[in-house]
Structure 1
Amino acid sequence: MKERIERLKKLTYIPQNEIAWLIEQAELAVKQREIIEENKRQQEVTIHQFRQAQKDIQQLSGDRKRYKQALEKIITNLNFAITVAQNELEGDVK
């Protein structure tokens, strides 16, 4: 391609088929630029979504930890209540 462009630069008259080729190359370059820009945009969207997902995971992990701690306290309290109830029942039986 470079050689063809250099040859065309040296010509004083450019044949019609060469002009058609130049136009085709320019159109391809425009399409490639549009594709690159769209890919960059999609990449930015993907990065944003990934970062948001990371934040959501961190938040859910924190929520999970808090829920687990709360549940452990409830279980401890229930075990204590069961022990107290059993002791009271044993005291009533004697």
Structure 2
Amino acid sequence: MKERIERLKKLTYIPQQEIVWLIEQAELLVKQQEIIEENKRQQEVTVHQFRQAQKDIQHLNGDRKRYKQALEKIITNLNFAITVAQNELDGDVK
């Protein structure tokens, strides 16, 4: 293709067949550029979605940690309440 373009640059008259070829090449380049631009746009959207997903995961991990700590406190309190109730029952039985 490069050789053909270089040969055409040297011509003073460009045959119709060569003009058609040049137009086809220009149209192909325009289509390729459109595809490249669309791919770039899709890549930017994907990167944005990925970053948002990372933020969501961090947020969920924080929530999970807080829920786990709250549940551990509830379990500790329940165990204490059970122990107190057992001690009271044991005191009533004796």
TM-score (norm 1): 0.99
Distance 1:9 1:40 in 2: 33
Distance 1:75 1:9 in 2: 84
Gaps of 5+ in 2: none
Measure how far apart 1:12 and its partner are.
1.1
Identity percentage of aligned residues: 91
Distance 2:83 2:10 in 1: 100
The number of equivalent residue pairs is 94
1:23-64 CA-to-partner distances (Å, cap 9, x unmatched) read 000000000000000000000000000000000000000000
Which structure would you say has the larger RCO, counting Cα contacts within 8 Å and 6 or more residues apart?
1
SS at match of 1:68: helix
Distance 2:60 2:23 in 1: 55
Measure how far apart 1:13 and its partner are.
1.1
> Which residue in the other structure is 1:64 paired with?
64
Question: CA RMSD of the aligned region, Å?
Answer: 0.4
Measure how far apart 1:73 and its partner are.
0.1
Distance 2:17 2:87 in 1: 102
TM-score (norm 2): 0.99
SS at match of 2:13: coil
Gaps of 5+ in 1: none
> Which residue in the other structure is 1:34 paired with?
34
Distance 2:9 2:58 in 1: 60
